Amino acid sequence: METDMLGAAGHAFVMIMDPYRLMMLSAGVVMGLVLGILPGIGGLAGTALLLPFTFNMDPYTAMALLLGLASTTATGDPIPAILFGVPGGAGSAATVLDGLPMAKRGEASRALSAAYMSSMLGGVFGAILMGISLPILRPIMLFIGSPELLGFAVLGISMVAVLSGNTPLRGLTVAGLGLMISMVGSDPQTGTLRWTLDSLYLWEGAPLVPIVLGLFALPELADLAIARTAIAGNLAKTNASGMIQGAKDCFTHWWLVLRCSWLGAALGAIPGISGAVVDWLAYGHAMRTEKGAAQTFGRGDVRGVIASESANNSREGGALVPTVAFGVPGSAGMAILMGAFMIHGLVPGPDMLSKNLGVTYGMVWSVALANVLGAGLCYLFSEQFARLATLRYTLIMPSTLGIIYIGAFQGTRNWGDLYTLAIFGVLGWMMKQMKFPRPPLVLGLVLGEVVERYLFISIQRYGITWFSRPIVIVLFAIAIWGLVRPFMQDVRIHGGIRKMMSGFHAKPNLQPEHLFSVFILCVLGYMMFEASHWNMSAKIVPLIVGSLAFTFCSISLLNAIFRRPEDQAELGLNAEVIEKLEQKIHMDLESDTDHVPTNVIYGRAAIFFGWLLAFMASMAVFGLIPTVPFFVVAYMRYEGPEPWKLVIPQAVGLTIFIWYVFDQLLSIPWPPTYFGTWFPVLKMIPSV
């Protein structure tokens, strides 16, 4: 068996090193990097676009082209995440937490280099793990059923405690809200329409892409517009020495790279665990295990970038395992890849591990080589990427917003995607201002549907005996400990529950920011009231989750109103303990607009979101492509004002780029417009 494996691996390597196949692999890598850099687009559209072009290719060449794209999308993701705080994809949102602060310090090159190198190492490790584990893991994965998948999902949700930093109650509240949002749409058990607001758009649930872009991209751009500065004020460390240092960081922390790569590959192999949550779990793992991470993560620690990016890239290798071995796609991209299997007469299962073993190892080599090529190309142009962080906000804002709108529209290609982007953009900015951690919301949103689905399947298939399965018991025990541990630490630091309770006073300390907690309570209360009228199977999980989230939010609000920071001295805490409490971090990006008066902050924020609404209004009337040049000109001239010699080239260049790439190449069906409805002659214009 080992001889067969080595022989097949050697034969596959020779086949992949053919010049024509290497050229196809390189073409896929370039397209993957471009799609990764464009926020929200991702590799799914690109993989679907390339599928028809593989009809006349042999299996080795077809897999090289498709996997070259799929494997390197995540390599390009950290570029906008680090430079602008805009996740290139949902899987790079955690990179923003440390990458953007590094860029603001002038260490963009170091952060980018660390991201490239860790992505490459993670991708190669994921490919190696796939090659070794395929024959071994098949009997193990056949043993894993819905109860085990439920256990993995619950374990993922338990990371909320870590991703909430020093506000565990707020984190649990936000995670509960995310779980509730994940249940929007048609209930898979009974068909009950849950919180659809009589809108057909919400029948299939709330789309992830516009929500992630709204939560993480728009708030960072809003703060940039409020501060009215460049992302990084200097170029002191954006040079070759920074690139070298970033690569050295990865080898210095090689054990972290290996751990997170293994975690990403293992989670990628579990069907239903989205790539949007893998980087958060790896980030939370690193924060728990790395020395001193609790004080430095979220403030520009290169280890945070390394952890999230190594896991992000290794998941593709893991996702190939169930796809090849069982015909169960490990991700949406792998589902499209199965279409290529059918085109070329490949049947997932035992044949891929016997007579087609060479093709299987050809896929392994494709993933590994694609990651090396992708990292090399990124290093080649990284100096130019790093300089983007020093540009004035008026030069980068219009183009970034235009691409974000197109990225958000990839959710369901419906007008609702744009409304969702705007709503969650405002929500994300308010959460950032009020120090409500945003990562738990994404975690709840991604894993909520998985938890509910596998819970009902487990009950129907196994009754109550599913809870006695050994793997389930272990996973649930670890999850419970992960949730309880932060509270136990707080109680211990405060000297016990009695001393904690003695810090409360009858006189309330009301602040304007408490209104946001009241708003969350109102939203949760409304959702639970609506749920109370549904069928028991449809409402049981929403009511449990909503009640817990409502309780956590209420306790957090009461704690904020009746306990003031200066009360800690009355609790008898010594200076060392108070220092520990202050060092516990807010597990999210903090606004860097403290130098701006509060009334100016809200005024400029209103102007920023006003620009977004104006963009949408113009899209509704004229279409997206005609709106782009006018928006670029209006924004740059009004906010700058920038000289015409910079305004005109950017307006024309961005319009041509969007028209050619998204309209001509990807053939995106743009949202309907007023003129497109009332004046049929204008339908000849691509945007309408």
pLDDT at 42: 57
Q: What's residue 332's pLDDT?
A: 60
Q: For residue 591, what pLDDT band results from cuts at 50, 70 and 90?
A: low
Across 172-176, 339-343, 563-567, 584-588, which has the greatest mean pLDDT? 172-176
The pLDDT of residue 127: 82
DSSP string, 407-426: HHTTTTSSHHHHHHHHHHHH
Residue 583's pLDDT band (cuts 50, 70, 90): very low
Both tokens of residue 90?
Answer: 């949902």
Helical H segments across 463-583, by residue range = 470-494, 497-501, 514-531, 536-562, 575-583
Query: Which DSSP symbol is given to 641?
Result: P
Residue-wise pLDDT tens digits, 621-659: 888 888 889 999 998 888 878 888 888 999 998 889 888
What digits encode the pLDDT tens for the residues 253-305?
Answer: 989 998 888 888 887 777 656 566 787 788 888 887 888 777 788 788 889 89
Written as six digits, the tokens of 643 are: 């000289």
pLDDT value of residue 423:
92
What is the pLDDT averaged over residues 542-552? Answer: 89
688: confidence class by pLDDT, cuts 50, 70, 90: very low
Alpha helices, H only, 164-253: 168-182, 208-212, 218-227, 240-252
Query: Higher model confidence: residue 609 or residue 152?
Result: 609
Lowest-pLDDT choice from 116-130, 132-146, 193-207, 426-440: 132-146
Question: Higher model confidence: residue 369 or residue 467?
Answer: 369
How long a stretch of residues is the chain? Answer: 688
Mean pLDDT of 556-568: 66
Cα 643 to the center of its chain, rounded Å:
36
* pLDDT for res 427: 92
Read off the DSSP letter of residue 664. Answer: I
Q: Using CA atoms, how far apart are residues 103 and 124, in angstroms rounded to an integer?
A: 27
When computed from its CA atoms, the radius of gyration of the chain, rounded to whole angstroms, is: 25
The percent of residues in the chain predicted with pLDDT above 70, rounded, is 77
Per-residue pLDDT at 522 exceeds 90: yes
Highest-scoring range by mean pLDDT, 39-43, 284-288, 675-679: 284-288
The end-to-end CA distance of the chain, in Å, is 59
Q: What's phi and psi for 512, nearest 5 deg?
A: -55, -35
Q: Between these two residues, 424 and 134, which has the higher pLDDT value?
A: 424
**Minimal CA–CA distance to 623: which of 668, 593, 581, 560?**
668
Greater confidence, 569 or 436?
A: 436
* 156-192 residue pLDDT tens: 777 666 666 567 778 888 888 988 998 888 887 778 8
Sequence letter at residue 588: D
CA pair distance 679, 448, nearest whole angstrom:
44
**Burial degree of 94 (CB within 10 A; 0-12, 13-18, 19+):** buried
User: Under a CB-based contact definition with an 8 Å cutoff, are residues 561 and 509 in contact?
Assistant: yes
Band (504; pLDDT cuts 50, 70, 90): low
Count H helices, E strands: the chain?
Answer: 31, 2
Query: Residue 499 pLDDT > 70, yes or no?
Result: no
Dump the DSSP string for 135-178.
HHHHHHHHH--HHHHHHHHHHHHTTHHHHTTT-HHHHHHHHHHH
Query: How confident is the model at residue 233, as a pLDDT?
Result: 52
Tokens, residue 579: 């220092």
Residue with tokens 């309907």: 672
Residue 152 pLDDT more than 50? yes
